[in-house]
Structure 1
């Protein structure tokens, strides 16, 4: 990461994105993320969270949001930017830094997370202190959350069985996603989601694992013809996102300011996020259907065939975790139980 270059760009980016009254607060934070300012992620996750904290602080806190990597660097560098103190807070995808958060990966696995972001969000919150915190050194995690889950978007291939996926080149942002693709005898292509439209238009990928909520932002209905998911909205895994602050910056805050951040990052917020991301997914698939795309919902037998085909992905994660000193099987069972606890 070119830290001096990124730091030098802060002044310019501030002039573009600083909110009114910057500098008047006692505690000013720069929040950096990779998606555009008109995406649902920015408008319904990042911005409302920052605004709620500012309001609760009675003006003592100000959070300047810098979308679209406007402070420089690439999405995989966001975690490092927060750890190094180049920025104060980042919202990013864990999978962009492959292998850095192996314990948290358990929640991304296909048929561990199925179709309920609220349940998975709350499950991660339940297990965070005892099982996950240790892998976020240099960071103070505000919250972790997931999206509805990965649907399969194909350019011109109708998919109803694992065999239909074989041979496709498929975009994924994470190593668990890559394992899923490999288990289906397809070829993974790693890339952040902003790069996806160009990759589809240039035919460098045939398909992508992404949620339906991103369809309007990236205009994926123009690049693909088929959107596929399992029975009862079952998905092929998911992604974990984190909102994290530089640990040194966090430790220097007074307890009352820390408490404001905690109050707006807990179970109530995580349940709300789960609902928001599920609703955004419904809106995304509606747009694709309105554009004439084909929405394929697998029946239960077809979904079961994918679950069986993807069992090796879970076994691979357990094996990788065990080799690195993690009780993979134990954590898998804890994750499943925690999710099930919150399914309504």
Structure 2
């Protein structure tokens, strides 16, 4: 009888331990765009599925588009930091001045037109300069999108002078500084606000990627789409994919290892590659709908690059006044981009 009791207790203990070991952890990650856009389709969802597979089903990642868990896109970092969500997608540039060093990666013509290459550079830059800035969250990836394109009502941009007087949406401070240099009236706004601003005539157009165009209905709301010549992007945007620090720290070591194995340069390159995949399809949608697809001449692109160099020089001076080594930030950003080729 004693043997039976002892055996039963041992089996119960083993079963309880096994149940505890297999207990599912649900992580709620939030973003601010359509689930059909490129990053959710080609990175976020596959990443979530890989986390679940690699953890043997012990971690489930739920993705919530359009800020469904609450808050606004510009406050996403704080929502993750404070634990309102377990993780999510952040554009640091939506809070100008808070993460000033990150702007070095967003300066005009800094990155190539490959989101994957730019994202490898972004991760290396982040490791050197930004880990302290993001110490309140657990960083999973830092990445860039593909080339920024000028989308507008009416005919395409053909000269620098064509920018004069246009009210154009800009996603970041460096982008709006360049638009201002070219004579446009830049209006900073997050992605979700762009379609309504277009439909109501608040803006004449804006700069954003090919891949975001279909989900924002830019084939209907704009008429033309203009890229610059060459292999460098007119502008780019810096993102992070991050997790609440306490939530990460609460995971057992083997589940932390699953997150870690799907983080860093590997995840950053994956996120950037997602934008490259989306750009191909997005451009095709605009083309198929009969919109004008244009590329500026090399001569006009050179004129914009010269204005971009003015923006960069002024940014370096401003960063230096704030106590940062602006010149080193820019040179290292360029070096990391070159290494990624």
Determine if the TM-score, normalized by the shorter chain, exceeds 0.5.
yes
Classify 1:40/1:118 alpha carbon distance in 2 versus 1 (closer, same or farther; 3 Å). Answer: closer
Superposition RMSD in Å = 1.6
1:5-154 matched pairs, under 5 angstroms: 25-154=23-152
Provide structure 1 residue ranges, at least 5 long, that are not aligned to the other structure.
1-23
Displacement of 1:25: 4.0
TM-score by length of 1: 0.88
Pick from 196, 213, 217: which aligns with 1:219? Answer: 217
SS of 2:334 mapped into structure 1: helix
Displacement of 1:119: 1.7
Provide structure 2 residue ranges, at least 5 long, that are not aligned to the other structure.
1-21
Distance 2:232 2:284 in 1: 17
1:336 is matched with 334
| Residues 101-154 of structure 1 deviation map (CA, whole Å, 9 limit, x = unaligned) | 211111111111131212221112223232111111311110011110211011
Displacement of 1:237: 0.7
Displacement of 1:92: 2.3
SS of 2:180 mapped into structure 1: helix
Pick from 222, 233, 236: which aligns with 2:234? Answer: 236
1:291 is matched with 289
1:322 is matched with 320
Displacement of 1:157: 4.0
| Residues 211-254 of structure 1 deviation map (CA, whole Å, 9 limit, x = unaligned) | 01111111101111110111135432111111111122223333
TM-score by length of 2: 0.89
Distance 2:269 2:86 in 1: 25
1:246 is matched with 244
Classify 1:323/1:300 alpha carbon distance in 2 versus 1 (closer, same or farther; 3 Å). Answer: same
1:193 is matched with 191
